[in-house]
Structure 1
Amino acid sequence: MLASKPFRRLWISLSLSSLGDWLSLLALVSLAALLTRDQPPLTISAAVGGVIALKLAPWLVLSPLANALAGRVDRRITMVVADLLRAALYVSVPLVGRLDWLLVATFVAECAALFWAPTKEAATPSLVPKRWLGQADQLNLLTTYGSALAAAALFAVVTSTATVLAGLFPPMSIPDADIALYIAALLSLAAAVVVWTLPLAKEHGEQRRAVSLPRALWSGWRGGTVRRLSVGMLGALAAAGAVIGVARLFVPTVGAGNAGFGVLVGAVFTGVVAGVLIGPRVLRDFSRRRLFGLSVGMAGAALLLAGLIPNMVFAAGAVTAVGIGAGLAWATGVTLLDREVADHDRAGAFGFVYAAARVALMGVAAVAAVAAGLVGSYTLPLGELTYDFSGAAAVLLIMAVLTLVLALVCYRRMNREPADVSLAVELWAALRGVPVKRGGDEEATPVPGTFIVVEGGEGAGKSTQVRQLSIWLRDEGFDVVTTREPGATKLGTRLRALLLDKEHTGMSSRAEALLYAADRAEHVNSVIRPALQRGAIVISDRFVDSTLAYQGAGREMAESEIVEINRWATEGLVPHLTVLLDVPAAAGLARHASPTDRIEAEAAEFHERVCQGFRDLAEREPQRYLVLDAQESPEEITRAIQRRIRPILPDPVPDDSEAVTNMIPVIRE
């Protein structure tokens, strides 16, 4: 995408503009505290909270108007004027030196940013190919929030340098917040210059409307999955927002100034970036559902420590942990949301969480700042010692308790791991990077062959891939046995007729699960295990995981009972690899002209639960699963399966043959 010169320039402009926007927020908050330093604590808190609130207010009130005008006015002129206006306002604030003008300038500057953003959204399709739009949007979002880390670091450096220079040359000293605002103005001016070189005419390229913040919030709050996940994601972000809101009020209590403010804000965003980018990779084998609740709890626990121990160094480490927890919760929540939300609801769901994230971060920050002033500061006697308790610390403690309660609720509602996998065992295994041992794994009898299973919901294309895979492997010289469930044996044929006959619609869930287990026991005993014992490659269309998905998730039966029955029926046999062809239930069912059996005729909700059940199983054991999008072309899916299978294949030429010929066999690609 960045190879495209026009889009690269737009991205540079976005980077400069976002960096200036975040830097101006830190500078304006610091300047508001400076202008009210002789006022009561509540006034200082109200000024700080007011600046943050005015950064959010235009997005809630005026974004419909900004979106309506985004494609009707010359895009380049709109963006250039918005950047120039912000630059002028940033310069004017230190020159005027009044709180009322600071608040007015903050509001107007954010209105300019509000008109800049949808214009950029409308212009993006004209600068990149349509197939790259999703990646371009992700890059823009990462740049918008990632620049907060760079802004915090720049603010800390500028304020520290200004303090040192003021000590060396007192007559030439300039308030550090003023310098930061001047730099923010220069960044906005540079962004305007870059935008001026872009070909962004009024009607240039494809039209695309951004969704306003109120509309995204209103339309996105739908479905239990979105509510269940978004509450935890936003709760963790709210913990980070509380830190941002009280950071400027907190640093004087630990003997720090504006540089300390920049350090704390930078620590939060450092943690968020680390949590989003690094956390899921380190804990790649850990259950995402468990990780979601634990990450929210991590943010709450770290926030509790930050509020209890008034030390700048400790606070920086604690708020970094808050950011890591928030970043982990966000990344995990987005992953789960992408898996669980239907295709037709995905745009609204993600639009909601992105819009709500802004409200949670900035809204909580504004409320936290005012709340700190309302609580006030106290000195608590502790025998011969005293404990200075600030309003900022109190807000952090209150927010920490709320976050911990939310974490407990999220963990209990999201955790679906079987009872034989304890949290401590899975966490330790994930940190070491080894597969977690689940109950019954030690019962499996080693076999010389290779066992591969293809799973998926209705219409996923399993039969096609089993056939293509078997042809390829036979061409490579392997002994291959293809089979299916149910119905691979004489007994299985009769059981299949019973299980799939529409006349048996009223069959109980327990009877159904037991019939599948009976078919599987005969299947393993007479087909699969004998073939594996002689060293063959066995490819099965469905195995135990189908019962866990269809009867466990679909029929909502106790998974632990199904696991135990099938463990006994198969003598602990586990596939070397399970290929999951993941397809949305509606798309899979649409591939059939009409339901042909009792299972296909089930309600859409049943098939949605089945698809989600398969995804949950794959999430628990990623080392055993290959998950593929079944909506890709069959040829692409086949090539992906071949790439994954090749490393686990045995040598098709016996060792004694190589000893005789003293040659290395050639394996065709």
Structure 2
Amino acid sequence: MSSLFANRDYRHLFGAQVTALLGTGLATVALALLAYDLAGPRAGAVLGTALAIKMVAYVTVSSLAGAYADRVPRRAMLVGLDLVRAAVVVALPFVTEVWHVYVLIAVLQSASAAFTPTFQSALPDILPDEGDYTRALSASQLASSLETLLSPVVAALVLTVVDFPWLFAGTAAGFLASAALVVSARVPRARPSGRVRFVERLGAGTRIFLATPRLRGVLGLDLAVAGAGAVVMVNTVNYARDELGRSETEVAVLLAANGVGTILVALALPRVLERVAERGVMLAGAGTLCAGVVGAVGLSLVDSGAWRWPVALGVWAVLGAGAGLVLTPVGRVLRRSSGPGDRPALFAAQFSLSHACWLLSYPVAGWVVTAAGFTTGWVLLAALAVAGAVTAVVVWPAERPSAVPPAPMRRNGGARLGAPGRSGEDAAGSPTGR
């Protein structure tokens, strides 16, 4: 890991990720409390709608960003998007109507939808060695997990002395610090894909996904993560406050328990991935997610009991561990499923398609739970998680590590779609590719 952080450019970009994540984590807690302040018992419906808007932006804008990621300087793009996010967050504490929240969330998440896949696709170019890249993926997942753990803790400490709107100031500071760190790093431009027409660039990543069995399996796992994760992202505040009778601070503690589970996984996975293929690790994560959401359904069937609080902490931690097992290795799978020219489009497609899965689960967690209760909504979310896990098992066959199938030739001009890069990764889009 020390050799990884000896790379100055990666070190600065990792710092940018950490500061932006910390700010985003504070905003997550603040947004939940803002929804509760504006809507009370209907906070879940407000959050569900806000997060659905977020997913619509992620699904649509990320595809547009992927189409142009190889045509604009990535560093300038990342900095500009950070500044947009900081400006929007500054405005959030002043909203007085629910629809104000929806408009600002749409702008904020559109910027994030362009930022994240652009950032992710730059890492393989900065870290061409697969070992370094694997450690970077684990470090990124660990950073995300620590954000899940530490941001609620920081938020809980801040809330002891100031009101929750001040959390948005911390978010803005995080985005500004991220922009400054990106400015100080050298971010290489994306390698041109060779695609000329906009329509061809727009759908390239999705076509690679649909043509590659292992990537179709990843899409099933994305659905499992979304089905189980919506319980945490949407329903934590109402479950902790209204069902368990806990305080605002304990809402943050329950979110932190989810982060603990993911952190433990992120710390262990670099060594595990040296011995176990990504498929086995990610399918184990899907099983863990299914177990966690079934545990949540069991909790929802019980009306009282002091023991529900420690059990809820355990269930939230299991859900975090499952998400970590699925999400940490995804970058490795994408990297060896594409050549350098296709990576921006493929990372954007993963971002878009995975969030399309959240677009299914967030409304269930927000609207169905509000209308019909936790048990009904969580049973539906459990069904989504199980369906995703089963799909991944069926469509992603066991791999032969030595098999590197050839890339198919594109007919329009003879350029390869998903041709192997210099590191020897498998070609995406191959009819035999796993």
Aligned to 1:148: 144
Partner of 1:175: 163
The answer to whether the aligner puts 1:301 opposite 2:291 as a matched pair is yes
Shift in alpha-carbon separation, 1:257–1:194, aligned structure 2, 3 A: same
Aligned length in residues: 393
How much has 1:190 moved relative to structure 2? 1.7
Amino acid in the other structure paired with 1:392: F
Q: Distance in 2 between matches of 1:14 and 1:336?
A: 21
Q: CA separation in 2, counterparts of 1:161 and 1:32?
A: 20
User: Deviations 1:404-436 (Å, cap 9, x if unpaired)?
Assistant: 4665676688899xxxxxxxxxxxxxxxxxxxx
What SS is found at the alignment partner of 2:211?
coil
Q: 2:249 is matched with which residue: 259, 266, 271?
A: 259
Distance in 1 separating the partners of 2:80 and 2:405: 48
SS at match of 2:310: helix
Distance 1:337 1:67 in 2: 14
Partner of 1:316: 313
Aligned AA for 1:14?
Q
Q: What amino acid does structure 1 have at the position aligned with 2:298? A: L
Q: Does the CA-based 8 Å contact 1:22-1:148 persist in structure 2?
A: no
Q: Is 1:394–2:376 an aligned residue pair?
A: yes
Equivalent position to 1:235, from 224, 227, 231: 224
Q: Does the CA-based 8 Å contact 1:32-1:47 persist in structure 2?
A: yes
- AA in 2 matched with 1:208: R
Q: Write the mapping of 1:61-210 to structure 2, written as runs, cut at 5 A.
A: 61-67=60-66, 70=69, 76-117=75-116, 120=119, 128=126, 131-132=128-129, 142=138, 145-165=141-161, 174-176=162-164, 178-198=165-185, 206-208=189-191
Alignment of 1:546-561 (within 5 A): none
Q: Secondary structure at the match of 1:221?
A: helix
Q: In structure 2, do the counterparts of structure 1 residues 307 and 124 end up closer, same or farther at CA, with 3 Å as the change threshold?
A: closer
Q: Which residue of 2 aligns with 1:443?
A: none
**Equivalent residues in 2 for 1:134-533 (5 A)?**
142=138, 145-165=141-161, 174-176=162-164, 178-198=165-185, 206-208=189-191, 215-228=204-217, 230-232=219-221, 234-252=223-241, 253-275=243-265, 277-278=267-268, 295-309=285-299, 311-329=308-326, 353=350, 355-361=352-358, 363-375=360-372, 391-404=373-386
| 1:86 Cα deviation from its structure 2 partner | 2.0
Contact 1:63 1:114 in 2 (8 A): yes
Deviating more after overlay: 258-267 vs 239-248: 258-267
Deviation at 1:143, TM superposition (A): 5.5
Alpha-carbon shift at residue 76 of structure 1 (Å): 4.9
Corresponding residue of 2:29? 26
Check the 8 A contact 1:307/1:393 in 2, yes or no.
Answer: yes
Q: Is the 8 A contact 1:239 1:403 kept in 2?
A: yes
Task: Report the equivalent of 1:618.
Answer: none
Taking a change above 3 Å as real, the CA distance of residues 57 and 581 of structure 1, as seen in their structure-2 partners, is closer
Q: Residue deviations 1:328-362, cap 9 Å, x none?
A: 355688889999x7999x96887755543344346
In 2, Cα distance between equivalents of 1:222 and 1:243:
32
Decide whether the 8 Å contact of 2:74 with 2:189 is kept in 1: no
SS in 2 for 1:175: coil
Q: Deviations over 1:351-389 (max 9, x none)?
A: 7555433443465234422221121xxxxxxxxxxxxxx
The structure with the larger Rg is 1
Residue by residue, what CA displacement relative to the aligned partner does 1:578-630 show, whole Å, maximum 9, x if unpaired? xx99353669xxxxxxxxxxxxxxxxxxxx99x99xxxxxxxxxxxxxxxxxx
Change (3 A) 1:5 1:289: closer
CA distance in 2 between counterparts of 1:581 and 1:293 reads: 17
Segments of structure 1 that go 5 or more residues without pairing to the other structure are 166-173, 376-390, 417-552, 554-579, 588-607, 613-669
- Residue deviations 1:512-570 (CA, integer Å, cap 9, x gap): xxxxxxxxxxxxxxxxxxxxxxxxxxxxxxxxxxxxxxxxx9xxxxxxxxxxxxxxxxx
Cα distance in structure 1, aligned partners of 2:274 and 2:124:
34
Identify the residue that residue 454 of structure 1 maps to in structure 2: none
Q: In structure 1, give the amino acid aligned to 2:34.
A: L
CA gap of 1:406–1:585, structure 2 versus 1, over 3 A, is closer
* Structure number with higher strand proportion: 1
- Tell me by how many angstroms 1:194 deviates: 2.6
Change (3 A) 1:261 1:55: farther
Cα 1:360–1:148, aligned 2, differ >3 Å: closer, same or farther?
farther
1:323 maps to amino acid:
G
Q: Which moved more, 1:77-86 or 1:99-108?
A: 77-86
Matches of 1:404 and 1:36, distance apart in 2:
32
Inter-partner Cα distance in structure 1 for 2:391 and 2:73: 49
Q: TM-score, normalised by structure 1?
A: 0.49
**SS of alignment partner, residue 5 of structure 2:** coil
Shift of the 140–249 alpha-carbon distance from structure 1 to 2, 3 Å rule, reads: farther
User: 1:46 and 1:21, CA in 2 relative to 1: closer, same or farther beyond 3 A?
Assistant: same
Report sequence identity in percent. 22
Alpha-carbon RMSD: 4.5
- In 2, are the aligned partners of 1:232 and 1:407 still within 8 Å (CA)? yes
Structure 1 residues 199 and 278 mapped into 2: Cα distance closer, same or farther (>3 Å)?
closer
Question: How far 1:142 moved relative to its partner?
Answer: 4.9
Deviation at 1:184, TM superposition (A): 0.8
Question: Pairwise mapping of residues 531-610 of structure 1 onto structure 2 (< 5 A)?
Answer: 582-584=402-404
In structure 2, what is the Cα distance between the partners aligned to 1:312 and 1:145?
Answer: 27
Q: Output the TM-score relative to the length of structure 2.
A: 0.71
